[in-house]
Amino acid sequence: MTFRERYIATLLFGAPDHIPFMPGWPRESTLRAWRAQGLPADADWFAVLRAEIGLPDMGGGLEGAGVSFQMIPTFEEKVLEHRDGHYIVQDWMGAITEISDEFDYTYIRAAKDFVTRKWHKFPVETRADWEAMQARFNPDTPERIPADIIARTAAARARGSALTVQVNGPFWQLREWCGFEGLCMLCVEDPEFVDEMAAFWAAFVSRVLARLFAAGGALDRLGISEDMAYKAHSMISPAMTRRFCQPAYVRWVEQATAAGCPIIDLDSDGCIEELIPIWIESGINVCDPIEVAAYNDIVACRRRFGKQIGYTGGVDKRAMAAGGDAMRAELARIAPVVHDGGYIPGCDHGVPPDISWANFIDYGRELAKLCGWA
């Protein structure tokens, strides 16, 4: 089987020959630490990991289709101040953001590492701001769809890859426009304004997807980025989620499914148990990353929701860092869900630098066994 075939078969509770080996992905600080611990400089960490544990080149992977849902044009990105060890920057999304000068200021909007940022101002504070912002999201802007989308699709299939696009969910996108506190206050004080912005975003994404499918593009996965939960609860109530977010989910799911896309995967950090029922109602069939530190228990989720939804992630990064017996106990904990299907296990977020290279290799070896590769 190709990666694409395994990926789809696993998450749809089919019968893959092996479960895809997707241990988690390191960020820059993690790679720096690993290189100091023995990972060869400039080496492909995944190739080295496979070689260390005796796995073949599995071929393929998740590949982006090159479709753009970003604002066009973007704001000018520029440093407004540099003082006291910090940059204050207008980023390309129009927000005024602060970041330590330990990092290049472009880290503000790129998840290259584990970086703390502070937001001072967001681009949508008034109705006039909102009217101006809409002009940056014209779904018919030509460069949103690659001119070679048919060739890209064919090439990805030939490599055995699963073709994917990632879109911001309504909560995520409105938070980018209004800020977290601003959006939450609007949900209470001006919910009709939130309805309006959410409906605009739903229609914009739908139109771009329609252009993709009309141009001959095909998807294996529609990913929805929707971080909307704290460590113990969701950021807005289930009732608000149904009002403001669910119409977009349903619209996109129906559209993508009609075009033959089998996987609709919603990503949200935090404790998502009270949100999963809404996602299931909406037709979403996979969610991730199932953070254990946020009180998500994938075994309990499978017991509660059965095979209505699949998962990726779910391996406690703290147990991976501890290594040894703690790591093995964690893999044993999730093993019943792996064997039950509909689950690709891996780190429950980006792989942090406190997971040593030696422990990651050991974890990778045990994970490969669990996934049927050894």
What pLDDT band is residue 160 in, cutting at 50, 70 and 90? very high
pLDDT of residue 48: 97
pLDDT in tens, 78-127: 999 999 999 999 999 999 999 988 887 777 777 677 778 899 999 999 99
Question: Is the pLDDT score of 340 beyond 80?
Answer: yes
Task: State the distance between the two ends of the chain, measured CA to CA, in whole angstroms.
Answer: 16
Q: Is 341 helix (H, G, I), strand (E, B) or coil?
A: coil
- Across the range 357-368, mean pLDDT stands at 98
Q: Is the dihedral of CA 178, 198, 241, 248 positive or negative?
A: negative
Q: Does domain 3-73+123-370 have CATH number 3.20.20.210?
A: yes
- The distance of Cα 19 from the centroid of its chain, to the nearest Å, equals 20
Residue 327 to residue 303: CA distance in whole angstroms: 23
DSSP state, 274?
T
What pLDDT band is residue 145 in, cutting at 50, 70 and 90? very high
Cβ–Cβ under 8 Å, residues 25 and 353 = no
Closest to 254 (Cα-Cα) out of 209, 316, 297: 209
Residue 68 to residue 168: CA distance in whole angstroms: 11
Question: Is the pLDDT score of 364 beyond 90?
Answer: yes
- Structure tokens that stand for 247 in this block: 């119409």
The Cβ-side half-sphere exposure at 70, using a 13 Å CA radius, reads: 12
Residue 217 to residue 148: CA distance in whole angstroms: 9
Residue 62 to residue 344: CA distance in whole angstroms: 13
pLDDT of residue 155: 95
Edge-to-edge strands, sheet with 62-64: 62-64, 162-168, 221-225, 263-267, 286-288, 310-315, 343-347
Cβ–Cβ under 8 Å, residues 296 and 271 = yes
Question: Is the pLDDT score of 288 beyond 70?
Answer: yes
Q: Tell me the pLDDT of the chain averaged across its residues.
A: 96
Q: What percent of the chain has pLDDT over 90?
A: 92
What pLDDT band is residue 213 in, cutting at 50, 70 and 90? very high
Closest to 161 (Cα-Cα) out of 57, 58, 64, 60: 60
Closest to 133 (Cα-Cα) out of 121, 142, 145, 125: 125
pLDDT of residue 374: 81
Place of tokens 């699949």: 310
Phi and psi dihedrals of 131, rounded to 5?
-60, -40
Helix (H) or strand (E) holding 89: strand 86-90
- Structure tokens that stand for 248 in this block: 């977009």
Where exactly does CATH 3.20.20.210 map onto the chain? 3-73+123-370
Residue 270 to residue 289: CA distance in whole angstroms: 9
pLDDT in tens, 297-306: 999 999 999 9
Q: Is 233 helix (H, G, I), strand (E, B) or coil?
A: coil
Residue 191: partners with Cβ closer than 8 Å, 6 or more residues away: 243, 244
- Across the range 151-176, mean pLDDT stands at 96
Q: Give the residue ranges of DSSP H helices in the chain.
A: 3-11, 28-36, 45-53, 127-134, 149-159, 170-178, 180-189, 191-214, 238-244, 246-258, 276-282, 298-305, 317-322, 324-340, 357-370
